[in-house]
Chains A and B, each alone.
Chain A
Amino acid sequence: MATAADWMSAASFISMAGIISFAGYDGSVYLMGWTGGYVLLALLLAPYLRKFGKFTVPDFIGDRYYSNTARTVAVICALIVSFTYVAGQMRGVGVVFSQFLQVDIEWGVLIGMAVVLVFAFLGGMKGITYTQVAQYCVLIFAFMVPAFFISMQMTGNPIPQFGMGGTVEEGGYLLDKLDKLHTDLGFKEYTTGSKSTWDVFAITCALMVGTAGLPHVIVRFFTVKKVRDARKSAGLALLFIAILYTTAPAIAVFARVNLIETVRDQEYTSMPEWFTNWENTGLIAWTDKNMDGKIQYVHGAALSSKKPEFLEKRGPNGERLIANASDSANELYVDRDIMVLANPEIAQLPPWVIALVAAGGLAAALSTAAGLLLVISTSISRDLIKKQLRPSISDKGELMAARIAILVAVIIAGLFGIYPPGFVAAVVALAFGLAAASFFPAIILGIFDKRMNKEGAIAGMIIGISLMMFYMIRFKTGFFGIPPRPSSEWWFGTSPEGFGTISMIMNTVVSLVVSRLTSPPPYQVQEMVENIRIPKGAGEALDH
C-alpha cells in the first residue's frame, strides 16, 4: 500500500481528473501510461532488482556497470527526475493551501514549502511507510466518497465506473450528452480528442516506461523480503491504484458536464460562492468581453498568455479585471488543477465532503514529496558524497548533508511550483520523460543483455537525458528569456511529453552499438547477471 500511496501523488489526485476533464480522450495517455508502467515494472524490473538487493538505482547501475562514472551519471539523472517531480507536487500543495486560506497561489506554494520542510525534518524518514498507508486510506476515501455522491446524483448509479457509461435523467447516455455539449460550444468531441494518434502513442509510451524507471517507486521494491513478494507487491500496488484510476475518468466526465451546465450563459452575479472563491485565488478568471454580464464559455483561449494577470480593480459586475484578455469569444479561464477540489462544490455536496477532498489532496502531495525528498537526500549524501567525494565523512556529517540537500531541494522545487512550465500533471509528465530517457534502458539492458558494458550504458544515459533536456527546454520551458519554440516545429509532430519515447529509443540504440564496439564486461559481472535472473537465495537487502 505504501507504494500505492507514494504513487498516488498530488498529480494523480489533484490534477489528473482535472486534466482528463479538459482533455477528454487525450487524457487517456495519463491513465494508461501510469498504470501500464506497473506491468513493465512487475514483469521486467522488480523481481531482478530485488534479487540484486541494494537500496538505490544508482547502486544497481554502479555495480552492474562496475564504474563510478556510471554511478555518478545515474545519480545526476535521479536528481533531475526527482526535482522535476517534486516541483509538480509543490504546485499541488499550493493549490490546496490557496483554497483553504483564500490566498494567491504563490503564497499557497510558499506555505506548502514550509509544511513539507517541517514534515521532513521532524518526522524523519523512517516513519514514512506507516504514515503512507494511513494516507492512502484518507486518499482513497476522499476520492471515492464524492464520486459516489455525484455519480448517484447524475446517473442514478452509485458506482462511478458504471455511472460514467450510464444514462441521464432526461434520457440518453451521459457521454453522448457531453459530446453534444462539447460540439455545441465549439470543442472537439469529448470521446475523440484532438491529439494526433502518433503523439498519443508516444506520450503513453514515455509515461509507461518512465513509471517503471522512477527511482522513488523502484526503491519500494527493495524493502520486501523475497523475490516472489516483489512480484506480488507490484500487483497489489497496481490493484489499489486501479481503483483510483478507473474512478478518475468518471469524475472527469461528471465535473465537465457540471461545469459547463453551471456557467454556460449564466449571469456572473448569479454564480455560486465557489466561483468567486477560486477567482480570488487567481485560478479562475472572467472578462465580460461582450458586456452582457453573462459568462460565455466556448472553445478558444480566454487569455492572450498562459496565466491571468490581474489588475487591482473590480469590474461593473464585481469581477476581478485582468490585463491580458484575448480576442477570442471565450470569456472564462479555469485552471485545470482545481477541478477535483472544486467538483464537490460545483455539484453542491455538503461541506464535510469538500473538506475531505482537500485533506486527501494534501495527504497525496505530502506523501509523494516526502518519498522523493528521501531519494534526493540519499542520492546526495550517500551515493555522491559518502561513496565518491568524501568517503571519510562521519554519520553526523552525512545527516547534515542530507538535511541541506532537502532544504535546497524544497526551495528549488517551490520556485518551479510558482513558475511552472505547465499544469501539475504536465510538469510531472516531463519527469517521466526524463526517467524514460535515462534509466530505463540502462536497467533493462543490465538485466536482459549480458553483453552490455559500462561504455554502452554511460553513453546511452548521457545521450538519452541530454536529448530529452534539450527538447524540453527548446519546446516547453524556454531558457533565460528565450521563449520556447512553437508546436509547429516539433520533430515528427512529437510533443515534449512524448519525446521521452524517442530519447529512450536513441539511448537503447546508442547503448547497444557502443557496447558491441567495446570490450565485454568482466566475468564477475556476467556471473552477477546470471545470478539475479534466478530468484532463489535473495537475502536481506544489504546496506553498504
Chain B
Amino acid sequence: MSSNNSPSKAYWKSNLRYLAVLLLIWFAVSYGAGILFREELNSIRLGGFKLGFWFAQQGSIYVFVVLIFVYVRLMNRLDKKYGFDEE
C-alpha cells in the first residue's frame, strides 16, 4: 500500500514542517530566552520583572499553551485539506 499513498506523504511532510516551526518557537522561549540568553535579557525590565526571569517563570508557559492550540488548528485544517478528518 505504501506505493499509492503520495497524498499521505505530502500530508506527513506538511505535518513535519509545522512541527519544526512550532518546536523552534518552543525551544526559543524556554531554552533560549529563559536559560541561555537570560543574562542579556535580564537587563531589560518588564514592570517589576527582569525579562529573562519572566520568560523562565511566566512567559514560556503562556507561549506553550498558545503553541498547542495553534498546532490543533493547523492540523485540523490540514486533515480537512487531505480528507483525513473524521466525520
- Interface residues, chain A, with chain B CB atoms under 8 Å away: 20, 25, 27-28, 31-32, 35-36, 38-39, 42-44, 47, 161, 164-167, 173-176, 191-192, 197, 200-201, 204-205, 208, 226-228, 231-232, 234-235, 238-239, 242, 245-246, 249, 526-527, 530, 533-538
Q: Could you tell me if A534 and B11 are in contact, using CB atoms closer than 8 angstroms?
A: yes
Q: Could you tell me if B84 and A534 are in contact, using CB atoms closer than 8 angstroms?
A: yes
Q: With A42-B68, A197-B36, A534-B84 in contact, is A28–B75 under 8 Å at CB?
A: no
Chain B residues whose CB sits within 8 angstroms of the CB of A231 once the complex forms? 68, 71-72, 75
Chain A residues whose CB sits within 8 angstroms of the CB of B71 once the complex forms? 42-43, 231, 235
Q: Could you tell me if B56 and A25 are in contact, using CB atoms closer than 8 angstroms?
A: yes
State how many residues of chain B have any CB contact under 8 Å with chain A.
45
Chain B residues whose CB sits within 8 angstroms of the CB of A200 once the complex forms? 35
Q: What is the minimal beta-carbon distance from B86 to any residue of chain A, in angstroms?
A: 5
Q: With A228-B72, A536-B86 in contact, is A28–B56 under 8 Å at CB?
A: yes
Known: A32-B30, A228-B86, A533-B8. 18 other contacts (CB 8 A): A20-B57, A27-B57, A35-B60, A36-B26, A38-B64, A43-B23, A43-B68, A165-B46, A165-B48, A166-B47, A191-B42, A191-B50, A197-B36, A228-B75, A234-B68, A242-B61, A534-B84, A536-B79
Could you give 7 example pairs across A and B, Cβ below 8 Å? A35-B64, A42-B68, A167-B48, A201-B31, A235-B68, A238-B64, A534-B84
CA distance A166 to B58 in the complex (A): 14
Q: With A28-B57, A43-B71, A235-B72 in contact, is A175–B35 under 8 Å at CB?
A: no
User: Which of A27, A164, A246, A534 is in CB contact (< 8 Å) with B62?
Assistant: A246
Chain B residues whose CB sits within 8 angstroms of the CB of A32 once the complex forms? 30, 34, 56, 60-61
Complex: chain A residue closest to B1, CB-CB: A527
**In this assembly, does B44 line the interface, its C-beta being within 8 Å of a C-beta of chain A?**
no
Chain B residues whose CB sits within 8 angstroms of the CB of A42 once the complex forms? 68, 71-72
**In this assembly, does B6 line the interface, its C-beta being within 8 Å of a C-beta of chain A?**
no
Q: Could you tell me if A249 and B48 are in contact, using CB atoms closer than 8 angstroms?
A: no
Complex: chain A residue closest to B11, CB-CB: A534
CA distance A508 to B85 in the complex (A): 32
Chain B residues whose CB sits within 8 angstroms of the CB of A533 once the complex forms? 8, 12, 15
For B12, B56, B67, B83, which residue has the most chain A Cβ atoms within 10 angstroms? Answer: B56
Chain B residues whose CB sits within 8 angstroms of the CB of A234 once the complex forms? 68
Chain A residues whose CB sits within 8 angstroms of the CB of B75 once the complex forms? 47, 228, 231, 535
Q: Could you tell me if A201 and B46 are in contact, using CB atoms closer than 8 angstroms?
A: no
For B5, B61, B76, B86, which residue has the most chain A Cβ atoms within 10 angstroms? Answer: B61
Q: Could you tell me if A35 and B61 are in contact, using CB atoms closer than 8 angstroms?
A: yes
Q: Could you tell me if B31 and A204 are in contact, using CB atoms closer than 8 angstroms?
A: yes
Contacting A at CB under 8 A, from B28-44, are 30-31, 34-36, 38, 42
User: Which of A165, A238, A527, A538 is in CB contact (< 8 Å) with B86?
Assistant: A538
Chain A residues whose CB sits within 8 angstroms of the CB of B48 once the complex forms? 164-167, 173-176
Complex: chain A residue closest to B31, CB-CB: A201
Chain B residues whose CB sits within 8 angstroms of the CB of A232 once the complex forms? 72
Contacting A at CB under 8 A, from B1-25, are 1-2, 5, 8, 11-12, 15, 19, 22-23
Q: With A164-B48, A204-B35 in contact, is A242–B62 under 8 Å at CB?
A: yes
